[in-house]
Amino acid sequence: MTAPAIRLTGVSRRFGRTTALDDVTTDVPSGVVCGLLGRNGAGKTTLMSILAGHDRPSTGAVEVLGSDPFEHARVMGSVSLVRDNQRYPEDFKLRHVLRVAPRFHERWDADLAAALVDDFRLPARTTIKKMSRGQQSGVGIVIGLASRAPVTIFDEPYLGLDATARRIFADRLLASRFDGAARTIVLSTHLIDEMEQLLDHVLVLNGGRLVRAGATDEVTAAAWSLSGPADAALRLAGGRAPISTRRIGGLVSLVFAGPEPEGVGAEARAAGLQVAPVSLQDLVAALGADEAAPTAERAAA
Amino acid sequence: MLSDDRPIFQQIADQLADGILAGTYAPGAPVPSTNELAAFHRINPATVGKGVNVLVDAGVLEKRRGLGMYVTAGARERLLADRRAAFARDFVAPLLAEARSLGLAAADVHRIIDQGVE
């Protein structure tokens, strides 16, 4: 196995009394598309800023491509961070952005940028500030993909994009992985169902803590759900503690951590219940459902 | 949980039928209301209604005005009869098709079934 693109060791980031990231330790392999998932306020943007060297952890160590990215020129030149709310100078139009971008990205691909501008139908005469939300997202995607940066980070690249543009982004993202050198893409999104097929690797944050990390199929295989009439479902669940419980009237839906126990499917069918795998979206929703309690505790501590 | 491979209303009907066959919903007992099922599965109540109507038409559920949907007296027997009638089509036919494509003779299939029964 090659060296990981990203290595986090005990990374915490505090802002005053708020803990935005809490002791995060993980590796992201080189060459993957990595989804950064979790609710608003889970710490996704803080982590992305740290990876890009725009911020540094309060404690712990970060390595991107083998070095600490903070104010490290070589690493910063190899990392591209596309923020969801990137600010541009007041009168900047697309051509100004495209003129400046190559200065920050040594592997900049002008032809790819031009093709992407066409794909996303970005207007040449409108200032970036006056573009629609979706067009602004398009500008960010052009910068991120055409940078060909070995580590490219997108914060919510999908905001405001129409269905066609989202498809184009997915196609271009996949194509960009086969341009010679290994490219690691980290992206945050809330459109998990739509993105799941693109993600090789996921990191799930909740309240600043890393609650799941690994290959996407392994993360989703380590959860299963049981649903149906509450009495029968709770009886079958026995002593197993669910990570989330959703109850409506006499019906209950439970999500459990761990692989689906052998034979539980047949047992469920005999009891008129449903056992099913858990989609990535359902798992992330389940993991985020109980966020209020631990956060409140930490605030009080 | 619902999957993508069959129409949603059919899955609602099948899940209620599974509950009746398993005895969770006994004859004369109510099944969850349309609104409950819609909220639980996060789907349109009209889709739930369509699934419930499949079972009403089959004589498995009956509407009690102002109260909701109830399991009929002979519901379990009706469902069993329906499913037994559909068994050859839904389970045996695909099994034989797969056996043919694998080059398994009828005798092989018989032997495998006998082994499974033991």
Q: How far apart are CA A60 and CA A49, in angstroms?
A: 15
The number of distinct structural domains making up chain A is: 2
pLDDT in tens, A129-179: 999 999 999 999 999 999 999 999 999 998 999 999 999 999 999 888 776
Q: How far apart are CA B27 and CA B32, in angstroms?
A: 14
Q: How far apart are CA A234 and CA A240, in angstroms?
A: 9
Report CA-CA distances (Å) from B13 to A143, A152, B61, B76: 50, 47, 10, 14
Residue B25 to residue A253, Cβ atoms within 8 A: no
**Contact in structure between A223 and A279 (CB atoms under 8 Å):** no
Residue B21 to residue A251, Cβ atoms within 8 A: no
Q: What angle do CA A234, A238, A240 make, to 5 degrees?
A: 100
Q: Has residue A215 been placed in a domain?
A: no
- CA atoms lying within 13 Å on the CB side of residue A132: 11
Say whether both A149 and A39 belong to one domain. yes
What is chain A's mean pLDDT, rounded? Answer: 89
Q: How many residues does chain B have?
A: 118
Q: What is the CATH number of the domain that holds A225?
A: 3.30.70
Which pLDDT does position A71 carry in this prediction? 79
Q: Show residues of chain B in contact with A225, CB under 8 Å.
A: 1
pLDDT at residue A297 is higher than 60:
no
- CA atoms lying within 13 Å on the CB side of residue B23: 2
Residue B23 to residue A272, Cβ atoms within 8 A: yes
Strand pairing class (A251-257; A223-229): antiparallel
Instruction: Judge whether A227 is closer than 8 Å to chain B, CB to CB.
Output: yes
Strand pairing class (A59-64; A6-15): antiparallel
pLDDT at residue A290 is higher than 70:
no
Q: Determine the distance in angstroms separating the CA of B8 from the nearest CA of chain A, rounded to an integer.
A: 15
Q: How far apart are CA A6 and CA A72, in angstroms?
A: 15
Residue A251 to residue B36, Cβ atoms within 8 A: yes
Q: Show residues of chain A in contact with B36, CB under 8 Å.
A: 248-251
Q: Show residues of chain B in contact with A194, CB under 8 Å.
A: none
Q: Determine the distance in angstroms separating the CA of B35 from the nearest CA of chain A, rounded to an integer.
A: 10
Report CA-CA distances (Å) from A275 to A192, A216, A265: 22, 20, 6
Report CA-CA distances (Å) from A120 to A117, A161, A168: 5, 9, 8
Instruction: Judge whether B19 is closer than 8 Å to chain A, CB to CB.
Output: yes
- CA atoms lying within 13 Å on the CB side of residue B29: 12
Of the candidates A184, A207, A230, which is a domain's last residue? A207
Strand pairing class (B61-64; B68-71): antiparallel
CB pairs under 8 A between A and B: 49
Of the candidates A175, A207, A239, which is a domain's last residue? A207
Residue A124 DSSP code = S
Say whether both A192 and A256 belong to one domain. no
pLDDT in tens, B61-101: 999 988 999 999 999 999 999 999 999 899 999 999 999 99
Gyration radius from chain A CA atoms:
21
Say whether both A84 and A226 belong to one domain. no
Report CA-CA distances (Å) from A111 to A92, A115, A145, A182, B60: 21, 6, 11, 20, 65
Q: Has residue A214 been placed in a domain?
A: no
| Per-residue pLDDT band at A180 (split at 50, 70, 90) | low
**Contact in structure between A32 and A2 (CB atoms under 8 Å):** no
Residue A249 to residue B40, Cβ atoms within 8 A: yes
Q: Determine the distance in angstroms separating the CA of A142 from the nearest CA of chain B, rounded to an integer.
A: 34
A-proximal residues of B, 29-48, CB under 8 Å: 32-33, 36-37, 39-40
| Per-residue pLDDT band at B40 (split at 50, 70, 90) | very high
**A274-277 sheet: strands from edge to edge:** A244-248, A251-257, A223-229, A274-277
Say whether both A224 and A262 belong to one domain. yes
Count of C-beta atoms within a 10 Å radius of residue A274? 20
DSSP letter for each residue of A96-119: HHHHHHHHH-TT--HHHHHHHHHH
Question: Nearest residue on chain B to A227, judged by CA atoms?
Answer: B1
Which pLDDT does position B44 carry in this prediction? 94
Question: Nearest residue on chain A to B30, judged by CA atoms?
Answer: A250
Phi-psi region of A75 (alpha: psi -120 to 50; beta: other; left: phi over 0): alpha
Q: Show residues of chain B in contact with A253, CB under 8 Å.
A: 1, 40
Of B19, B22, B39, the CB nearest to A248: B39
Domain coverage including residue A233: 220-288
Instruction: Judge whether B53 is closer than 8 Å to chain A, CB to CB.
Output: no
Say whether both A154 and A259 belong to one domain. no
Q: How far apart are CA B86 and CA B79, in angstroms?
A: 10
pLDDT at residue A85 is higher than 60:
yes
Residue A250 to residue B36, Cβ atoms within 8 A: yes
**Residue in this structure with the two tokens 């100004």, named with its chain if needed:** A96
pLDDT in tens, A192-203: 998 999 999 999
Q: What is the CATH number of the domain that holds A201?
A: 3.40.50.300
Q: How far apart are CA A22 and CA A26, in angstroms?
A: 12
- Which residue blocks in chain A are alpha helix, DSSP H? 44-51, 73-78, 94-104, 110-119, 133-146, 163-176, 192-195, 216-221, 230-237, 264-270, 280-288, 292-300
* % residues pLDDT > 90 (chain B): 86
Say whether both A271 and A173 belong to one domain. no
The partner residues of B61 in beta bridges, in order of sequence, read: B71
pLDDT at residue A300 is higher than 60:
no
Q: Has residue A114 been placed in a domain?
A: yes
Q: Show residues of chain B in contact with A269, CB under 8 Å.
A: 18
Say whether both A179 and A91 belong to one domain. yes
Q: Does an H or E element contain A255, and which? A: strand A251-257
Say whether both A8 and A81 belong to one domain. yes
Say whether both A133 and A280 belong to one domain. no
